[in-house]
Amino acid sequence: MLTEGGDALAALLDPRPVTTIRWGLDRIEALLAELGRPERSFDALHIAGTNGKGSTARFAASMLEDGGTCTGLYTSPHLEDVRERFLIDGAWVEEAALQAAAARVIGCDAAAACTYFELATALAFTCFAECGVEMAVVETGLGGRLDATNVLRPVGTAITPISLDHTEWLGGSPEAIAREKGGIFKPGAPACLGRIDPGPRAALEQIARDVGSPVARLGQDAEVSEVVVRTDPVGTRFRYVSTPRPDGVRLATGLPGRHQADNAALALLLLDCSGYPPEESSARRGIARARLAGRFEVRPPGAGRPGRVFDIAHNPAAMGVLCETLAELSLPRPIVAVAGMLADKDWKGTLARLALDSDTMILTRSDVPAERRWDPSRAREWLSRERGVESIVCRNVAEAVSRGLTLASAGTLLVTGSATTVGEARALPELARVRTGDG
């Protein structure tokens, strides 16, 4: 119950279990109808995929912002503060506007039946409408077809690489998962595809044909070449050529990894195909400025502390990309990995890859609901028995980070796994840094 002058945001979201999933669009449709259809007051770009959709969304939003478009960005999950999910022109939504929008949402009769993500989605769209957003860049939460964000009528859509994740909800094969994610395609709105394996790519192309959505593909209609991953300054340089930009453009981002070149390229392809092509100068500046917490976020060593890397890698594909980036950057050794997973993820496949590229593994768990809480002691036994890798178990993230800082010495502390693990670690006093307005 919201009292006069109370915290509407907390009253709206805090009582709700974050992890509750209930398929269907009926609840969000009813809520948005009661709110006056805020999602129809702005254009939208809709992005789905297994890995990389948050970075792709951030690149797209940053380029739009640089070009002068008032841009909303809705992503999930957050790491430390729910306000991270709602950005306008690269900054957290102003507190007064966020509270006013939350009060509107919580005052709706339909809100009582909605899940956390449905309420957060309605809140984002309400904020964007009331703050005069011209274009919203929206990342799906889970899947696509029945995701709460799929009430949008986007001017363009994009699908990032697909791998096995959330199989209990999306299906047990990449093709099945692709069919769920392809549910965001809309008639006439371009569908831009990242580097996707042939099976799921064929499934997506078929959906696009059935819907009447023109397709553009990274690797066919656009290409990335001359990729250089740097350590000083940390980031990635590359050349981008596409059908809309046949002469090509050289770009650079502060996000390290070859995959980030692909994510930036997909974002630029999406804008070009959707009627919002940025000037070359805006593409350069927007891609260079884009940052996303917890995506190979590097903090240099200092004051007797090792270098630190934070990366959400909660499935084998994401961990593979993380380890490839570690190898390219040649960060100081030893690499001490603090890993905390969730019980419903493929933690065996994820940790097996991490074991190949780290010198010491510390297993822990974050503060999550009991049904998603994994057992790091069981993981330690499995790693020892099946992979011949010894690891350390700590009871919580704070203890694991403290142990890791000692063991890493002049090397590198890597914190990875679930978003909750990375978020808890980033908030610790010994790892935190002064935050800017966007978190």
| Sign of the torsion angle spanned by Cα atoms 167, 170, 171, 172 | negative
Question: How high is the mean pLDDT of the chain?
Answer: 91
Distance of alpha carbon 339 from alpha carbon 401, whole angstroms: 10
CB 155 within 8 A of CB 44: yes
Contact 85, 18 (CB under 8 A): no
Is the pLDDT reported for residue 439 higher than 50?
no
Q: Which class for 334: exposed (0-12), middle (13-18), buried (19 or more C-beta within 10 A)?
A: middle
Distance separating alpha carbons of residues 293 and 432, to the nearest angstrom: 12
Rounded Cα distance between 321 and 353, Å, is 10
Residue 243 one-letter amino acid: T
Closest of 297, 56, 73 to residue 196, by C-alpha: 56
Q: In what order do the strands lie in the sheet with 249-253?
A: 222-231, 234-242, 249-253
pLDDT of residue 230: 87
**Does the pLDDT at position 171 exceed 50?**
no
pLDDT digits (tens, 9 = 90+) for 216-232: 999 999 999 999 998 77
Q: Encoding tokens for residue 140?
A: 């799906």
* Greater model confidence, 373 or 19: 373
Which of 268, 216, 215 shows the shortest CA–CA distance to 238? 268
Mean pLDDT of 175-193: 94
Q: What is the pLDDT of residue 170?
A: 54
Mean pLDDT of 249-278: 96
Tell me the HSE value of 103 on the side-chain side, using a 13 A CA sphere. 13
Residue type, position 406, single letter: T
Percentage of the chain beyond pLDDT 90 is 77
Contact 213, 186 (CB under 8 A): yes
- Whether 299 has a pLDDT exceeding 90, the answer reads no
161: phi then psi, degrees, rounded to nearest 5:
-50, 145
Per-residue pLDDT at 212? 97
Q: Say if residue 338's pLDDT is above 50.
A: yes
Is the pLDDT at 21 greater than 60? The verdict is: yes
